[in-house]
Chains A and B, each alone.
Chain A
């Protein structure tokens, strides 16, 4: 794009003047962090458009979703986009987490930013869950009940926390309005705030993790203009692909929750919580549904602090020797979570 090198635009100014070329390559970062930012932007836009038609009241919520899906011109596109971009965000954020750990890019001074990133992942999962519940149809009924009851299982704080989340003694109109408020405002504000902080810290911590200048084999750099061009390319490409996906694959929809709605034979958690649903088949809700997932988060958060970090000259490439333990731990964790997810998909009647 024609940009004046002596007067960069606001957008160009958000980027450093130059960055090392090897680490700017797709094969190093996979563009996962940047893509996550763009996906959040798409979610905000499609979400705002949905707000013109969605009604957060139990009698009308699912019907307003049907109006969007079938009657509003391009409503199906906006809804499907919002759904697929949201699921993709969770996947891309996890890929970004994997990349950061496998390249050791969490080493000081980036340890705090790593925690911010973890918080963003959690916020994305909560946004995905609250958005899922807003459908208020038979597909989400059990996730709503089980999820809120998990909150109640927390000792001492459980009852109070439940009242805070649900706004009553059982999920109903108050819970729906609260989930709506959290989804469109509370969590979104937190996501944008923590996200801005995360991006600021990227700049302040020295940008994409690179080895110190004396350890670099390739000293070439790319300008902010080239960087912005690459980001624009990725954004346009991603948008096109997502529009095609949203046109072909519909977002899930089911009959509304009503008095006398049939109880689902197999109630399934949303895909990103299937591993928790599997854990819950094994025992106490608090231990398996709250404690263990919290321990997983704590384990992830502890990687930069408790496991060996790579040396500075090892940065800027995949699988340096210095953080083998961390990479191994993450691989094992991912395999376990994948196995739990697969197990969760097997029919309820078979063990485990």
Chain B
């Protein structure tokens, strides 16, 4: 009997089992965590609408500035064509009010000119320009996405 080798091999095996145990527990925890993150990551609310039908282009005469409340935007008929400005404040997302000569945000006082450029206020970006397209049938579609 080789007494010197006995205790050494016992220690070796015990450590291995401990490592294996910690490994399987760690793996279980990781699997559980991944599952938890996937579980909590599910979105049940449908994505908000990003396309809005505005009706015939003839409803918006040249030079007009028409608010589109359901899209939180305002539609301009410029000489070059149709564009829209988003009324969602580029600062923190409040809905901007229309005032004479431009726009003012009620939350933190940002002000913008009629073209959406920043006049003053905590906002640093101009109002977002949104895409407007015209179908062959003359209908306008506003894209907020």
Contacts and interface: CB of A to CB of B under 8 A. Distances in A.
Nearest to B24: A236
Interface stretch (A73-81, A96-104, A291-299, A310-318): A73-81
A74 B38 contact: yes
B44 A73 contact: no
- Size class of the A contact interface (CB-based, 8 Å): 10 to 19
A37 B38 CA distance: 28
Contacts of B41: 73
Interface string B3-36: 0000000000000001000000000000000011
B44 A67 contact: yes
A71 to B, nearest CB: 7
Interface residues of B, number: 9
Interface in A47-88: 49, 52-53, 67, 71-75, 77-78
Q: A52, A67, A74 — which one has the most chain B CB atoms within 10 A of its CB?
A: A74
Nearest to A77: B35
B40 interface: yes
A74 B42 CA distance: 10
Contacts of B35: 73-74, 77
A53 B38 contact: no
Nearest to B38: A73
A71 B42 contact: yes
Nearest to A72: B42
B42 A78 contact: no
A204 B41 CA distance: 45
Contact of A49 (B18, B39, B44): B39
A49 B40 CA distance: 8
A75 B18 CA distance: 33
Contacts of A78: 39
Contacts of A75: 39, 42
A293 to B, nearest CB: 38
B27 to A, nearest CB: 13
Interface string A1-25: 0100000000000000000000000
A42 to B, nearest CB: 12
A144 B52 CA distance: 45
B97 to A, nearest CB: 35
- Report the 7 A-B pairs with minimum CB-CB distance, sorted nearest first: A73-B38, A72-B42, A74-B35, A74-B39, A73-B39, A67-B44, A72-B39
Given A74-B38, A78-B39, 8 more contacts: A2-B18, A67-B44, A71-B44, A73-B35, A73-B38, A73-B39, A75-B42, A77-B35
Interface of B: 18, 35-36, 38-42, 44
Interface of A: 2, 49, 52-53, 67, 71-75, 77-78
18 contacts: A49-B36, A52-B39, A52-B40, A53-B42, A67-B44, A71-B44, A72-B39, A72-B42, A72-B44, A73-B35, A73-B38, A73-B39, A73-B42, A74-B35, A74-B39, A75-B39, A77-B35, A78-B39
